[in-house]
């Protein structure tokens, strides 16, 4: 990998004010953030920002809102898994956090144009995929058939339930959802997300599969996609790594010659095949 020169803006911590906050599940909390001066976050679907709280630390969080909104705010979903994310969960409207970014290589929307798309989201994977899904819906005429496959541990773990219902109602989207464990009110499919893939009719030559979810999910989903004869270069993945700096200098997110924070987190399968423990 050829490293690009650092830009001064990559180190600047901007002031972000929480203008909306909502508990989504037992572990996830939604935030809408406004930058100082009503600055618009110029991001691509699939990119992330570094979120910081002084005296506690900094962590990468995927941007969940679509750039098509063009608002002076953006949206995040934070899972409570550690010291910083736990501190974020204690914040509410009016509190201020630090923002650096956006960083990373997002989904190639220009390459996806004119093609059929199959989104495969597992659990928290819907958070970054929501940005791309809404981008595609807002530019629906630029894309072919759209399939959205969503998997959750249980119905109560589903994120963005109201939006999911809207996707399900659309006539220009094929939406399917499954849960690992049902409850008495669940009327949908029960099983792993891989169980949904065989039944999807695809035009292989023009289909891109975009996969985001927990690392353990990837090899099983990829195996099913390869059975459908989707070319490796047309399988796109967003990889989780422990990113510390966001600018390709600390080495925490290195995968072979790749720095996930700079030339990822989105890769095609042929780029990263055999280089990541989840693949």
Is the pLDDT at 4 greater than 60? The verdict is no
- Using CA atoms, how far residue 71 sits from 20, 37, 82, 89, 166, in Å, is 14, 12, 30, 24, 21
- Using CA atoms, how far residue 13 sits from 35, 36, 241, 252, 262, in Å, is 11, 11, 22, 20, 18
Is the pLDDT at 230 greater than 50? The verdict is yes
Q: Which strands sit side by side in the sheet containing 116-122, from one edge to the other?
A: 189-190, 174-179, 146-152, 116-122, 207-212, 235-238, 266-268
Name every residue whose Cβ is closer than 8 Å to that of residue 276 and which is 6 or more positions away in sequence: 239, 255
Confidence (pTM) = 0.90
Domains and CATH numbers, the chain: 8-103 (2.40.30.10), 109-272 (3.40.50.80)
- Per-residue pLDDT of 21-68, as tens digits, reads 999 999 999 999 999 888 889 899 999 999 999 999 999 999 999 999
User: What Rg, from alpha-carbon coordinates, does the chain have?
Assistant: 18
What is the arithmetic mean of pLDDT over 152-179?
A: 94
Residue 74, judged by CB atoms within 10 A of its CB (0-12, 13-18, 19+), counts as buried
Q: Under a CB-based contact definition with an 8 Å cutoff, are residues 178 and 190 in contact?
A: yes
Of the pLDDT bands very low, low, confident and very high (cuts 50, 70, 90), residue 150 is very high
Q: Under a CB-based contact definition with an 8 Å cutoff, are residues 72 and 135 in contact?
A: no
What is the arithmetic mean of pLDDT over 227-240?
A: 92
- Per-residue pLDDT of 69-86, as tens digits, reads 878 899 999 999 989 999
CB-hemisphere CA count at 13 Å for 35?
20
Across the chain, where does the E strand assignment appear?
A: 14-23, 28-35, 48-53, 57-62, 73-79, 96-103, 116-122, 146-152, 174-179, 189-190, 207-212, 235-238, 254-255, 258-259, 266-268
What is the arithmetic mean of pLDDT over 181-191?
A: 88
């Amino acid at each position: 990998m050829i490293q690009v020169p650092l830009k001064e803006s990559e180190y600047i911590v901007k002031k972000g004010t929480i203008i909306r906050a909502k508990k989504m599940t037992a572990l996830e909390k939604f935030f809408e953030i406004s930058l100082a001066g009503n600055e618009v976050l110029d991001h691509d679907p699939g990119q992330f920002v570094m979120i910081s709280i002084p005296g506690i630390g900094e962590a990468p969080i995927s941007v969940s809102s679509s750039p098509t909104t063009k608002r002076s705010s953006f949206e995040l979903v934070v899972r409570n898994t550690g010291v910083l994310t736990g501190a974020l969960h204690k914040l509410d409207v009016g509190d201020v956090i630090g923002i650096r970014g956006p960083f990373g290589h997002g989904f190639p929307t220009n390459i996806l144009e004119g093609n059929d798309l199959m989104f495969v989201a597992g659990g928290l994977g819907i958070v970054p995929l929501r940005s791309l899904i809404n981008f595609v819906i807002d530019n629906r005429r630029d894309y072919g058939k759209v399939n959205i496959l969503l998997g959750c541990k249980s119905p109560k773990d589903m994120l963005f339930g109201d939006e999911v219902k809207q996707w399900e109602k659309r006539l220009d989207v094929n939406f399917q959802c499954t849960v690992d464990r049902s409850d008495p009110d669940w009327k949908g499919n029960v099983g792993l997300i891989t169980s949904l893939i065989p039944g999807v009719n695809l035009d292989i030559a023009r289909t891109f599969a975009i996969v985001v979810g927990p690392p353990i999910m990837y090899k099983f989903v990829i195996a099913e996609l390869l059975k459908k004869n989707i070319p490796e270069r047309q399988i796109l993945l967003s990889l989780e790594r422990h990113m510390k700096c966001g600018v390709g200098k600390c080495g925490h997110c290195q995968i072979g010659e790749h720095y996930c924070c700079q030339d990822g987190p989105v890769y095609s399968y042929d780029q990263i095949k055999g280089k990541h423990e989840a693949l």
